[in-house]
Copies of this chain bind each other. A is one copy, B any other.
């Protein structure tokens, strides 16, 4: 008789920071009943994904087994955990469980996309457990940088797993539940087979700091500002919004929230009773008429995103408001790696306006939402798991975290995306490697990572594009007027000749000599023309462009 397996399979998030999606399964091989933890997105960049709107995990493996999926559990409302729901839920017919605030955000997403928000079910916190096939799953409250984050207590016939979600140890998180060591100890009491754990800050050696440490620094900063005060932070950090708004109110300023995400988050937080005494705000339209020294804007765009409010203000007037000499702009945030140039652009634009930019360089105005190394040690101590499986990190984070577990006398297992572990036996075993990857939302279409669509765009960006239109008559003779059109290439060569004309001349010469067998074969003709174009380009401008050949065959009618 086949032994039941307890499988762990990350489809996203293990080996990268972003697009979290973790599968657990229990049952005989190939018949495991499944649950999915989180369904997030990652963000595109020009280097590898120009023009892409959103990056999603490739969930082909799960789609092919959708009938075995019992439920989806979302640990918290950040985009890298929740953002995929609107895009991928149509392929996964399963209920989605989340706590109130997260559910509120998820429903908004589905409603925006014209989908049924009833797929989202509200979960009560641990010790309440939700049945999902052979699993019992409880939402264990934990502190993070968004309210109502949860670890998951996952009970299976093969033992208990705790999936940490994103977390930090914060005993005074300003908004939402503090880290409750007693509750965690209670969850750990029956014994924990594996702790699947956030690795983001494993390289940060100092103890983590509480959200409550920020507010006392904000107050004097806002109080001493002379002109308008503008602050940006992550819109989902509702606690920070509260601290910022209170600092503004204490300084006698009207508070104005700018940016869609900012308003969506505060609305959801008010609806769910998390923000009870948030200062009254004014609309952007009304803000323009308030004297600048009495105004505080809290805006989106802490990462320098071009369309967010901070970048709009950096470029000039936005909603009738324009920053000026003597105003202050605070980044109550950190710059996520990869966004440095965008953030610097915003800072420099403000500098040109004479706006004083304040950052968290001295650690005064931001704290991280993730557990640092000493905090990871504390949690391992409380949970006391046999196995630690690092997740939510690049490979170097996973490896360092596994080493930390080893050093603490546990078994650390590095399992990047696609690694299927069986946790049911005496020792965790790698039982399969599953093809994983990324799916791109490009416009309104889902495009595969290896479909070649984005690759072609990158190639043209690097090399330019030459388009050749050639006509062949019904005797397989190439007509003389072959056309060359250049995109993203210089018009003139170093010696001042027209590049397109040189190419046309080269083709005329080449095509004048070919036999009808080549002219009659689209593939051969295209290959010959492409090589000819590349040779001219290489000689004349030192580049090897992408080439598209359009062959029109004229037929006698």
Contacts and interface: CB of A to CB of B under 8 A. Distances in A.
A469 B46 contact: no
Given A467-B548, A550-B550, 13 more contacts: A46-B46, A46-B50, A50-B458, A51-B463, A348-B394, A348-B396, A350-B396, A443-B543, A444-B494, A444-B542, A460-B461, A471-B471, A481-B552
B443 A460 contact: no
A476 B454 CA distance: 38
Contacts of A543: 51, 442-443
A344 B48 CA distance: 15
A203 interface: yes
A338 interface: yes
Nearest to A456: B488
Interface stretch (A130-138, A239-247, A445-453): A445-453
A357 B396 contact: yes
B541 A445 contact: yes
Nearest to A483: B550
A31 interface: no
Interface string A362-381: 10000000000000000000
A461 B457 contact: yes
A341 B47 contact: yes
A433 interface: no
A489 B456 CA distance: 9
Contact of A453 (B340, B394, B451, B488): B488
A282 to B, nearest CB: 30
Interface of A: 15, 45-47, 50-51, 203, 205, 337-338, 340-341, 344, 347-348, 350-352, 354, 357, 361-362, 394-396, 398-399, 442-445, 447, 451, 453-454, 456-458, 460-465, 467, 469, 471, 481, 483, 485, 487-490, 492-494, 537, 541-543, 546, 548, 550, 552
Contact of A458 (B205, B399, B461): B461
Contact of A457 (B354, B453, B460): B460
A372 to B, nearest CB: 13
A232 to B, nearest CB: 16
Contact of A541 (B351, B443, B485, B537): B443
A202 to B, nearest CB: 12
